[in-house]
Chains A and B, each alone.
Chain A
Amino acid sequence: MTITEDNPTAESSQAEVGRARRRKEDQRLITGRTRWTDNVTLPGMLHIAMVRSPFAHARVTAINTNEAKAARNVVAVLTGADLKDVQGANANAWPISADQVTPTHLPMVVDHVACAGEIVACVVARSAAEARDAAELVDVDYEELPAVLDMKEALKDEVLAHPDLGTNKSAFWQLDSKEGGTGDDVDAAIEAARTDGVVIEREYRQQRLIPAFMEPRSVVVDPTGEQITMWSATQIPHILRFLLAATTGVSESKIRVIAPDVGGGFGGKLQTTPEEFIAFAAARQLGKPVKYTETRSESLLSGHHGRDQWQKLTLSATKDGTVTGLKVELLADLGAYVALVGGGVPVLGAWMFNSIYKFPAYRFNVQTILTNKTWVDAYRGAGRPEATFGIERMMDELAAELGLDPLELREKNWIKHEEFPFTTVAGMTYDSGNYEAATARARELFDYEGLRAEQQRRRASNDPVQLGIGVSTFTEMCGLAPSRVLGSLSYGAGGWEHANIRMLPTGKVEVVTGTSPHGQGHETAWSQIVADRLGVPFEDVEVLHGDTQISHKGLDTYGSRSLVVGGEALVLAADKVIEKAKVVAAHLLEASADDLEFTGGRFGVKGTDQGLGIAEIALASFAAHNLPDGVEPGLDSDATYDPVSFSFPHGTHLCAMEVDTETGATKMRSYVCVDDIGVVVNPLIAEGQVHGGLVQGIAQALWEGAEYDENGTLVTGSFVDYTLPTAADTISFVTDRTESPSTTNTLGTKGVGEAGTIASTPAVVNAIVDALRPMGVHDVPMPCTPERVWRAIQSGGSTRQVESSGDAQPHFDPAAPNQDTPETEGGAQ
């Protein structure tokens, strides 16, 4: 164990940025001194239980609440009729076309249910158990309507998810390189290749996933102060506050939102939820604090889902493997409503399908579709994993078609390191990168040649266990986002971030950030950045966030934006503090400001040993006894940073999978990734983000999928059926980094939060397909369960979609450790 890295006195001269600081936030979390929303208890607090529709599509014809109201300790039973004028709405912030069809999304249904799990009433009682018991007594009459569940079926508009809208088609969006002047005509490129090159045509399914953060969502609303205070397990306290105000008519200044400790999000808590709005309305109606905490089953059903696309891809190339065109036609199932940024998620793929390759011609089409399923929105990667999967699968298919090594084929087509900055066929300018370096390092760590040789041996000996090698050389765009670009896409907000630095008279520093971490370690990383900039000890920096009364301005945490946008805001604010301090320092030192230099937290007069530390200046400025004329007391500074560009991390991921051709069982043998995420503030945290991201991406490839039955009931509605990977399912990874600093921000950083998830899914599927290629297999639909792999082998290269029973994999072994009931455990006889 390296404790030295933690000992500031031993290495006090070392820069903080780049250092593997152990996290400040850990102390509380490892000792149970936590503030999850569900831990919040207020005097007289009431508890809410939701009554949810079991039907995917129905009309509510009557609700009888008498019995529930009469139940013990029930304070109120509220229905859509009670709340309809005060509940506000769950808004869509990103209409992707001027004529987007956007059903009104009411937190509590008034009469029309568009998916199972929608809330039709709620019970407010003195305890959570009493509320839940009484919820069973609410008698709702439904008139069931035909449900449309399959997005291709929905396109026909025969059965409508929202009959009053007249169509299931929400919006169509296109990016075309010829029209946009960023490239050639893709149809012409494909036609040319049909006669004199190769054309690869594939259709891939991005299954529906569930973010499944570990902390179920919870909300507490206290209406008893001058402001109505909401605690919520959210990634977006600022956006939530704005939308509560904007849709309920309550003044924004009367609403305070607090995101206390938040247990993971992964995009799943990038939402304003019906539950938040109903709790807000109930608290206002009753004048009492209320709490609602969802069960896991409610979470899986009613928290938004992710992915869910059909991808029709056409790639053209010359016979030597030079790509000439890429056409992308997407269908995206939005579920029952166009969620906060739901319609925009597939659009984010538009700039990513071309990835790191020099396509001269490109077209991206997406049609978004409404169905009677849970609404779909951001899930880790949001649009970019889908795109990366599509292109990385296609590059492997092209390599196989031409008999080329998949890495060689990629190298032939990718942007060379000396070609940066490079403007792509989708019109994005990548600032920096070095695909050669990352790939070379990954090959070496992976022993690419050795594993290829083993693969050959296994093939030659007809080993029942075949080895596959999967490649994914990904890039992504993150760091949402330049406000001007968002404006041009009709996104409902900007993409800037805010920071405030307060220099306390004791020399301590408070940093207020508009980002809203929920596991990312901002308290530690932000302290490192500010400590370096101001030359103060890491320990003296306190990072405050997640409360709109403390951090009054911010756009929260998602899209790998916090460091590349929020981190730059810190730099700007720190520089303003230094500017203010310099004036005071010059005055106190009786020197000209031009003769001062600021290093290591101290203003020194050049050529002398005279100087003042920033803490001394902070105290002097606080006391204000001796300030230059016209200078305000205090050094506190605010800054708002609007990024000039997106951030483009990249990396090379290599995965080796063993596939048992007799059973379809797969086993991950090794996984190597070399990511280029620019300058790293804290390698420990960055690596942790990669690990977690990898497993979420691998889980999409191998295990997870939200499955509905023909009635629109979510059959993967608990952790028994929605199979998150366990420690026993996964392996240890080999991770490394190369570094091409970003040239579009001062720290040189790039985003990292989503990289692992974006890259890993195609690496795994490419490996499985690679193992089975000699058997004629060129696709296995995700998740690649043993059954599906086995069927793919049996179908011997048939291109038709392999059907699955949709059964969950046997996953949780009742005999496994820590699964025992207390009786068998012998703990409590």
Chain B
Amino acid sequence: MTRITVNVDGVEYSDDVEPRTLLVHYLRETLGKTGTVVGCDTSNCGACTVHLDGRSVKSCNVLAVQADGHEVTTIEGLAETAGSDGKLHPMQVAFHEAHGLQCGYCTPGMIMQACDLLKENPDPSEQEIREGLEGNLCRCTGYHNIVKAVQQAAAAMATDQPEPAREEVAS
């Protein structure tokens, strides 16, 4: 067991973990951050994507001990405030608006990766979006509306008008 201290979604956690524990399992099983999911065992699907010190990583490809002393943001910490009435990140709004999700299983990873993509390249072409999401698989949407969502988020973030704050996007 190794003692690690990790800041996850703005909260500091300190735990003893087995050295072989993957970050995704630490998040899901130790911290109960089940918003981040596992879709494969070969680092191909990207369902587990989170931000580590602000950059996207596949959390099935990172050991929990490697996150020691670092900051992790998951889908659960992306909105400004947690909870159902929290102000959503423009990327979350865009996925909802553009119907960029169906079953939603790929969505946490897809949104986290898309945020990283826009951070690198705030004004991507369609092809750049498609290539930037290549490490994240979605079986439901055919990617069409995911690409649209990222375009919409890019536009919203560029004008610095990240969508009028809406209390309840699901309405």
| Chain A contacts to B: CB under 8 angstroms | 1-3, 6, 8, 22-34, 36, 38-39, 129, 212-216, 261-264, 266, 295-297, 518-521, 538-539, 684-685, 687-689, 691-696, 718-720, 724-728, 730, 732-733, 756, 812-813, 816-822, 825-828
In contact, B143 and A822 (Cβ under 8 angstroms) = no
Q: How far is the CB of B19 from chain A (nearest CB, A)?
A: 12
In contact, A828 and B70 (Cβ under 8 angstroms) = yes
Contacts of A33 in B (CB 8 A): 35, 76, 84
Q: For B107, give its contact among A3, A29, A822, A827 (CB under 8 Å).
A: A29
Contacts of B106 in A (CB 8 A): 214
In contact, A695 and B135 (Cβ under 8 angstroms) = no
With A693-B142, A816-B134 in contact, do A215 and B105 touch (Cβ < 8 Å)? yes
Contacts of A730 in B (CB 8 A): 130, 142-144
Find residues 26-55 in chain B having any chain A CB closer than 8 Å to their own CB: 28, 33-47, 49, 52-53, 55
In contact, B38 and A719 (Cβ under 8 angstroms) = no
Residue of A whose beta carbon sits closest to that of B111: A30
Contacts of A36 in B (CB 8 A): 34, 37, 105
In contact, B147 and A732 (Cβ under 8 angstroms) = yes
Contacts of A718 in B (CB 8 A): 40-42, 44
Residue of A whose beta carbon sits closest to that of B34: A39
In contact, A295 and B171 (Cβ under 8 angstroms) = no
Q: How far is the CB of A524 from chain B (nearest CB, A)?
A: 9
Q: For A296, give its contact among B40, B126, B156 (CB under 8 Å).
A: B40
CA–CA, A23 to B61, complex, Å? 32
Contacts of B55 in A (CB 8 A): 825-827
In contact, B34 and A688 (Cβ under 8 angstroms) = no
In contact, A263 and B104 (Cβ under 8 angstroms) = yes
Contacts of A813 in B (CB 8 A): 134
- Asked if B67 is at the interface (CB within 8 A of a chain A CB), the reply is yes
Find residues 122-148 in chain B having any chain A CB closer than 8 Å to their own CB: 126, 129-148
Contacts of A297 in B (CB 8 A): 41-42
In contact, A264 and B134 (Cβ under 8 angstroms) = no
- Asked if B10 is at the interface (CB within 8 A of a chain A CB), the reply is no
In contact, B103 and A727 (Cβ under 8 angstroms) = no
Contacts of A24 in B (CB 8 A): 170-171
Contacts of B70 in A (CB 8 A): 827-828
CA–CA, A634 to B103, complex, Å? 35
Contacts of A262 in B (CB 8 A): 103
CA–CA, A519 to B92, complex, Å? 17
Q: For A727, give its contact among B56, B62, B136 (CB under 8 Å).
A: B136
CA–CA, A827 to B56, complex, Å? 9
Contacts of B35 in A (CB 8 A): 31-34
CA–CA, A693 to B145, complex, Å? 13
14 contacts between A and B (CB under 8 A): A27-B96, A129-B20, A214-B105, A216-B39, A519-B103, A692-B142, A718-B44, A726-B136, A728-B133, A732-B147, A732-B148, A817-B135, A818-B56, A826-B55
| Chain B contacts to A: CB under 8 angstroms | 18, 20, 28, 33-47, 49, 52-53, 55-58, 61-62, 66-68, 70, 74-76, 78-79, 84, 86, 88, 92, 94-97, 99, 101-108, 111, 113, 116-117, 126, 129-148, 152, 156, 163-164, 166, 168-171
Contacts of A28 in B (CB 8 A): 104
In contact, B57 and A264 (Cβ under 8 angstroms) = no
In contact, A727 and B145 (Cβ under 8 angstroms) = no
Contacts of A3 in B (CB 8 A): 97, 164, 166
Residue of B34, B41, B43, B140 with most partner-chain A CB within 10 A: B140
Contacts of A733 in B (CB 8 A): 142, 144
In contact, B41 and A519 (Cβ under 8 angstroms) = no
CA–CA, A817 to B78, complex, Å? 21
Residue of A8, A29, A688, A694 with most partner-chain B CB within 10 A: A29
Contacts of A519 in B (CB 8 A): 102-104, 140
In contact, A214 and B138 (Cβ under 8 angstroms) = yes
In contact, B42 and A296 (Cβ under 8 angstroms) = yes
Besides A34-B35, A724-B139, 10 other A-B contacts (C-beta < 8 A) = A1-B94, A26-B169, A31-B86, A34-B34, A38-B34, A129-B20, A296-B40, A719-B137, A726-B135, A732-B148
Q: Is the interface of A mostly helix, strand, loop or mixed?
A: loop
CA–CA, A29 to B46, complex, Å? 16
CA–CA, A262 to B105, complex, Å? 8
In contact, B134 and A521 (Cβ under 8 angstroms) = no
CA–CA, A133 to B103, complex, Å? 32
Contacts of B56 in A (CB 8 A): 818
In contact, A727 and B133 (Cβ under 8 angstroms) = yes
Q: How far is the CB of A702 from chain B (nearest CB, A)?
A: 13
In contact, B97 and A22 (Cβ under 8 angstroms) = yes
Q: How far is the CB of B53 from chain A (nearest CB, A)?
A: 6
In contact, A31 and B88 (Cβ under 8 angstroms) = yes
Contacts of B84 in A (CB 8 A): 27, 31, 33
Q: How far is the CB of A464 from chain B (nearest CB, A)?
A: 23
Contacts of B94 in A (CB 8 A): 1
In contact, B143 and A296 (Cβ under 8 angstroms) = no
Contacts of A820 in B (CB 8 A): 57
Contacts of A23 in B (CB 8 A): 96, 99, 170
In contact, B135 and A818 (Cβ under 8 angstroms) = yes
CA–CA, A762 to B137, complex, Å? 24
Contacts of B92 in A (CB 8 A): 30-31
CA–CA, A539 to B168, complex, Å? 11
In contact, A27 and B169 (Cβ under 8 angstroms) = yes
In contact, A264 and B102 (Cβ under 8 angstroms) = yes
Residue of B whose beta carbon sits closest to that of A32: B35
In contact, B36 and A32 (Cβ under 8 angstroms) = yes
Contacts of A691 in B (CB 8 A): 141-145
Shortest Cβ-Cβ A-B pairs, 4 listed: A32-B35, A263-B105, A519-B103, A29-B104
Q: How far is the CB of B87 from chain A (nearest CB, A)?
A: 11
CA–CA, A685 to B101, complex, Å? 10
In contact, B37 and A22 (Cβ under 8 angstroms) = no
In contact, B42 and A22 (Cβ under 8 angstroms) = no
Q: For B143, give its contact among A22, A539, A687, A695 (CB under 8 Å).
A: A695
With A216-B38, A726-B137, A818-B136 in contact, do A296 and B45 touch (Cβ < 8 Å)? yes
Q: How far is the CB of A292 from chain B (nearest CB, A)?
A: 14
In contact, B44 and A720 (Cβ under 8 angstroms) = yes
CA–CA, A685 to B103, complex, Å? 12
In contact, B47 and A22 (Cβ under 8 angstroms) = no
CA–CA, A231 to B18, complex, Å? 29
In contact, B142 and A29 (Cβ under 8 angstroms) = no
CA–CA, A212 to B47, complex, Å? 14
In contact, A818 and B101 (Cβ under 8 angstroms) = no
In contact, A828 and B61 (Cβ under 8 angstroms) = no
Residue of B whose beta carbon sits closest to that of A21: B171
Contacts of B152 in A (CB 8 A): 1
Contacts of A216 in B (CB 8 A): 38-39
Contacts of B75 in A (CB 8 A): 30-32
In contact, B171 and A821 (Cβ under 8 angstroms) = no
